[in-house]
Amino acid sequence: MAIKVRSETRQRLISSIKRYFEEDMEEEIGDLKAGLLLEFFLKELGPSVYNAAIGDAQAHLQERVGDLDGTCYEPEFCYWKR
């Protein structure tokens, strides 16, 4: 599954990469190089980040589902309590 970002997000990411190079690497790069670097990050690093996020979401959901008995339990046949 290829990780895709919206056009607006892509432009903001490219701007961020260019700024990083200018401020931290003291080197200017153009839109093309920044875009290629972004594509590399999305293809090479993106799946690892995505898989970690999915694992975190699954763990959170499993924890919440495991707690259903405690939070969603309603005692039965309680009208005639003695």
The answer to whether 22 and 2 are in contact (CB under 8 A) is: no
| Average confidence (pLDDT) over 50-66 | 94
| Average confidence (pLDDT) over 40-61 | 96
| Average confidence (pLDDT) over 15-36 | 98
pTM: 0.74
| Average confidence (pLDDT) over 59-71 | 86
Give the model's pLDDT for residue 82. Answer: 66
Domain boundaries, the chain: 7-71
| Average confidence (pLDDT) over 55-62 | 95
| SS3 category, 70 | helix
Q: Which two tokens stand for residue 29?
A: 């790069």
Q: Which two tokens stand for residue 26?
A: 């003291």
